[in-house]
Amino acid sequence: MGNSGNSGSNQMWGGRFAAGPSAIMREINASIPFDKALWRQDIAASKAHADMLGAQGIIAADDAALIAGGLDRVAAEYEASGVPENWDLEDIHMTTESRLAELIGPAAGRLHTARSRNDQVATDFRLWVRDAVDQAMNGLLDLQKALVARAGEHAGSIMPGFTHLQTAQPVTLGHHLMAYHEMVARDVSRFAAARVRMNECPLGSAALAGTGFPIDRTRTAAALGFDRPTRNSLDSVSDRDFALDYLMAAAQCSLHLSRLAEEFIIWASQPFGFVTLPDSLSTGSSIMPQKKNPDAAELVRGHSGRIIGCLTALMITMKGLPLAYSKDMQNDKPPVFEAANLLGLSIAAMTGMVAEATFRTERMRAAAELGYATATDLADWLVRAAGVPFREAHHITGAAVKLAESRGIALDQLPLEDLQGIDPRIDDSVYGALSVEASVAARASHGGTAPSEVSKRVAEAARALGLEE
């Protein structure tokens, strides 16, 4: 074997790490490239902490005022020029404190009294996630409004309803859109519930055990808009349930957005032709001039996979961590930041698509007729009007559908003599049940597809959303 020794720098480190393990540690330890996104929250929490320290007499009132003014100056710099990335300062907390010291001198060192970076980051991150929840709920409100508005326009527009993507029974487009409104309403409720759970303030838990200083945690909690301070300092600095709650709600929401996107992708395809997508959310082909690609919808569909991946990443990170804080938790923010960005884009894209799409309702209606969507209505009529057992009615209906299909006509276009040739118990009153209009009108049970029922649900949702009826 050759000589295993080496001269000069240890080549095991390789590439940009030729300087050795210190270079690796510097890079792996620094979080400033991503946690600089917390700067607004870090400034707000630091101001609340400094105010409390001054009010409690833990630091001098003059120092508290000097710190507050200095933090405002730091915030103005960040707003104007962004947060500088000095990896030796590691994170947003040290970056801000270092700049504060340059601006106001030794008084800056008093800011960190009675707190740790552990409770500081837990507070900052919780504030950021709370803002992300509010942004998601606001975006979903706009999507709900778009769905309800378009459903109101199309409460009576007939289309095929599908199971297994096979024509099943006629429904209305309004009914179909309101199904997504229900999904989105549940998404809003999940975000709202997550917000309630996360709205407790960890600040004052310090490193893990609390502090011996006479702090007022209720004051800082109230200043930051929290309902109350957290109840256990160990849990406070190591808890990331609030981030998981957000990601779980985001993942579920992304599934709904992906399903809605898939509907538009299918409907916009030439074989369906149910919808014309807005130009602003479509692209053309580089070589096929006839194409109009539903790229925005496809990206929304794809984003759901990434958002679910973000949830999985944080769950796996947290699954084996003992109390209290571990450095693994530095990896909590990138998946949340990524998911929030993707979710915001997805919500906005689908809101625009619902609001601006042109629905080709005549094409939808024709598809419902040619798909023999009223076959169940014929079977139901045989049961109700002729007293035929349902299984026999199902067989009779199958024969009628086969005959209509062979002629390329709708069921209600079959002559009475042909229907009676299949079963003599059929009379001309059957035609009152065979049209797609009659089919949807008959399904007036609560939550059904009858236009009258759809209009009721639209009106209820419009009132709840503050829309004019």
> What are the residue numbers of the active site?
164, 285
Q: How far is residue 52's CA from residue 59's CA, in Å, rounded to a whole number? A: 9
Q: How far is residue 258's CA from residue 207's CA, in Å, rounded to a whole number? A: 41
Which residues, in sequence order, are CB contacts of 345 under 8 Å at separation 6+? 299, 300, 303
Sign of CA dihedral 433, 434, 435, 439: positive
Q: Of 291, 415, 432, whose CA–CA distance to 374 is shortest?
A: 432
Q: How far is residue 264's CA from residue 173's CA, in Å, rounded to a whole number? A: 13
Distance of CA 186 to the CA centre of its chain: 11
108, 97 contact by CB (below 8 A): yes
Sign of CA dihedral 200, 204, 205, 210: negative
Q: How far is residue 283's CA from residue 294's CA, in Å, rounded to a whole number? A: 7
Q: How far is residue 315's CA from residue 14's CA, in Å, rounded to a whole number? A: 32
> Rounded to 5 degrees, what are φ and ψ at 32?
-55, -30
